[in-house]
Amino acid sequence: MNPLDRLTAEGGALLVVDLQEKLIPRIEGKDRMLARSLVLVQAAQILGLPVLATEQYPRGLGSTIEPFAGLIPDRPAKTSFHCLGAPGIQDKLGDLGVKHVTLTGIETHVCVAQTALELLRLGYRVQIPIDAVGSRFAIDRDAAIRRLEQLGAVISTSEAILFEWLGDSGHPQFKSISHLVKERSEA
C-alpha cells in the first residue's frame, strides 16, 4: 500500500488487544479509552471489517471485559507480547486479505506496540487511534506512540478513523456510523 492511500474499510481489520479484567482498572484514562474502543468495534462490525481480539495470559489477568467479550467471542490466549503470537491471528489476517490493521487496547507500550511492530515488519499498514489505546502511565503511552509513528504507524483518532473507513458520506452505512459518533459526543 502507498503510505498516502486512505485506510478505508476495504482491506482493513480491527484488532482489540487485551482488554482484560485485571489490567483495565490500572489504565490511565480507561473510561475514554474503553468508550472509543467500543465505538470502533461497533463501527467495524457495521462495516463488515474483521474484528479480532486477544487475551494476554487470561489465567492470571482475567477474561476480556464486557461488552467486548460478548461482541468478540473468539479471543485466543497468548503469552507473547505481540498478538500475532496468539493462535490463528496471523493466519486470519492473511486468509481475509487484510492490508491494514487498526489497533485498540492495552497496554500501548507493551502489547499494542509490539503488535504494531510485528505487523509493520510483515508489511501491513498499521493505524493507532490515540484515544483508544492506553497504559498505566501517560509517559509510557506517549513514548510508544512517538516511537510507532517514527517507524511508520499511522497515528489518528477514533473519529477520524471511522470517517476514513467510510470514505464518503454517500456510503450506505454513513448514517449508522454518524449515529455512533453522535452518541459518543453526547456521552
pLDDT tens string 3-30:
767 788 899 999 999 999 999 999 999 9
What are the tens digits of pLDDT across the range 135-145?
999 999 999 99
Task: Express each pLDDT in 133-180 by its tens digit.
Answer: 999 999 999 999 999 999 999 999 999 999 999 999 999 999 999 988
Residue 83 annotated among the catalytic residues of the structure: no
Where along the chain do its domains lie? 12-186
Q: Which CATH superfamily is domain 12-186 in?
A: Isochorismatase-like (3.40.50.850)
- Which residue, among 51, 118, 52, has the nearest Cα to 80 in the 3D structure? 118
Q: Which of 5, 22, 99, 111 is catalytic?
A: 111
| Residue (of 101, 97, 96, 107) closest to 132 by Cα position | 107
99 is a catalytic site residue: no
